[in-house]
Structure 1
């Protein structure tokens, strides 16, 4: 074959990128990417109700299947499930919300009374080591004015959080509206995602399974354990006669949601305050209760409720929860870990494909890793491709 024939065969390949079909494909890709971006911008205002609806749908899918087996009609079964879920969620939230408003107002008034009456000053003066600190606080801070402003903010904030705005009420209604369709059309939605995804069916099932495990672990594990810790802490506050036990119980539950933090952020300062007031017995009881009961309940319940479902390191779990809360608000409690779980699975899929292309079985080490001393003595050896005969 001469050079002219070779050039004629190479020219169509070189000029193929400028062909009409490739230009159309490129335009279609750009238009699709732009459309996806616009759809994302349209969905941003609905992310909170979408996230909570998704979480509730994953949790109550077994219940939906049971209702469908009894009613034999997906639409009616989804409607019944939404009604039941609404009763389970709305009634406790309404009761707790009303009590929070009342206790927040009482707690704010109590704090303001203790400061304006000078009771806090007498408590510090009784402790020789803390008396100089009280003098510095009085000189540098207008404590009565600061506490009064804080009390007003606490009362107003508690009321606004519970009663909510019109947009929050709309989000709440949207959550259950979307939940109906997530329950009724879940099979069709999953099948559509599979058909649109470039991944194989097995890989998509792996992603769906990891997201489901993450949501179960986050809600069943994190929320249930933190709620129990807050309940136990609030009960001890009530039994010891401390102010606003339900309010501080909710605060302990919220802090327990975040990895690394926990209910101790509340009960340790409360125990110190009881010590300063001379209630050594109550301080000891609260400390033992916090360490033995509240502190160990996490180690008892989390393995039962979570097990090995949440396949995230503690630091990654902390970043996903806190970062999700910062980025998406309360919905980040679900979105943060879910996004990290999906990304982790995608990285595992890429790693598995690359290992297969290099001739390694999944989990085996490359030559570079073995040279770096990463291979254990019992590790599997890489398989060698036999030369074809």
Structure 2
């Protein structure tokens, strides 16, 4: 009788278990469907929102400090930080646009007046591997007759020019999105503390009990990367830009913008400064070229000293993990990956360390 009752109970429990499993699957399906729809609806705004959150986290300590200095006037502090951020973005962009317009006007005036001249190619150009002879021929033709060079090579140059213009237009769109992100950032400062607590609670539900620690780790990583990468890039750009302007290097604004881009993507200022130094030794006096070289070389190397110090400050994650995330994230996802890469690797590293250190429950 007992065996029969157990079998009956087991048989009666199976339909209930199946019903609960079916109910769970249906709920998860509906939840996944609504999650997918929600992501699709907000996907056009995700880059702007992600940048706004990253900027708000990076600049929140400055906002909090300024709000305390202003006697707790949080709205004024947020407005000041937002205004300074907009000036930081739009100032170099305005200088670059002015430099580009000036350069284009100079080229157009030279072409119309017939005064634009290309210097003859150096003797060593013909010895360049693969493209030496073609480059020397095109350069020599341009130095003797620019009109003939444009007629001969214009059909090959125009598509490349269209591609470059397209890239410039894309950069302009990205800058506009970044400006919108800065404006949204200004509205995230005041509710920042509540948003951070909500993020900690959500992470705690996902990865209890270390979820809050991972949120704090992500915030610290964002701030350190912003100081160690963006901050050092701006410092190098400012130093190099001042030196180039004082030295009278043509197109100093455009060169400074190139330095900023190369520094942010972790290539460094060498691709811009090394050709500038070479140009200085060919176009300037030996003394002026020597002084310019002695000033620009430390500017090229300053990031090797400051970046590891600023990025690793206050973090337990090894600097190699952070730098790998910075470089890998930038290569894979662009400028946003500059921040997302080190965050993902830092959190994953902490998860692995916590799992390795976890004691075996069966050990006594």
TM over 0.5: yes
Query: How far off is 1:45 after superposition?
Result: 1.6
Alpha-carbon shift at residue 84 of structure 1 (Å): 0.7
Contact 2:265 2:330 in 1 (8 A): yes
Q: Name the counterpart of 2:122.
A: 124
- Structure 1 residue 84 corresponds to structure 2 residue 80: yes
Q: String of CA shifts for 1:182-215, please: whole Å, max 9, x gaps.
A: 3232333333334444345641221111111111
Deviation of 1:171 after TM superposition, in Å, equals: 6.1
Q: What does residue range 2-41 of structure 1 map to in structure 2 within 5 Å?
A: 4=4, 7-8=7-8, 10-12=10-12, 14-19=14-19, 21-41=20-40
1:238·1:245 contact (CA, 8 Å) conserved in 2? yes
Q: 1:307 aligns with which of 286, 294, 312?
A: 312
What is aligned with 1:381?
Answer: none
Cα distance in structure 2, aligned partners of 1:357 and 1:179 = 47
Instruction: Give the alignment of 1:210-225 within 5 angstroms.
Output: 210-225=217-232
1:83-116 per-residue CA deviation (whole Å, 9 max, x = no partner) reads 1112211223333222111212344567896996
Structure 2 stretches lacking a partner, 5+ long: 143-148
Tell me, yes or no, if structure 1 residue 205 matches structure 2 residue 212: yes
On the 8 A contact 2:63/2:81 being kept in 1, the answer is no
- TM-superposed CA distance for 1:66, in Å, is 4.9
The one of 299, 303, 309 equivalent to 1:298 is 303
Residues in 2 aligned to 1:358 and 1:44: alpha-carbon distance in whole angstroms: 43
The 8 Å contact of residues 63 and 81 in structure 1, kept in 2 or not, is answered as no
| Partner residue in 2 for 1:356 | 359
In 1, Cα distance between equivalents of 2:133 and 2:351: 59
Say whether 1:98 aligns with 2:70.
no
State the match for 2:342 in structure 1. Answer: 337
1:9-41: CA deviations, max 9, x gaps?
Answer: 54455545412x332222222222222222222
Change (3 A) 1:171 1:271: closer
Secondary structure in structure 2 of the residue aligned to 1:130: helix
Matched, 1:316 2:338: no
Aligned pairs for 1:108-187 (under 5 A) are 117-119=117-119, 122-125=120-123, 129-133=124-128, 135-139=133-137, 144=150, 145=154, 160=169, 164=172, 169=176, 172-173=179-180, 175-177=182-184, 179-180=186-187, 182-187=188-193
User: Which one of the candidate residues 250, 264, 269 is aligned to 1:263?
Assistant: 269
Aligned partner (choices 221, 244, 253) of residue 246 of structure 1: 253
RMSD, matched Cα: 3.9
CA distance in 1, matches of 2:351, 2:234: 33
CA distance in 1, matches of 2:21, 2:166: 61
Gaps of 5+ in 1: 360-384
SS at match of 2:30: helix
CA contact (8 A) 1:194 1:204 kept: yes
Q: Identify if the C-alpha distance between structure 1 residues 287 and 231 changes in structure 2 by more than 3 Å, giving closer, same or farther.
A: same
Measure how far apart 1:298 and its partner are.
1.5
- Paired residues in the alignment total 340
Q: TM-score, normalised by structure 2?
A: 0.75
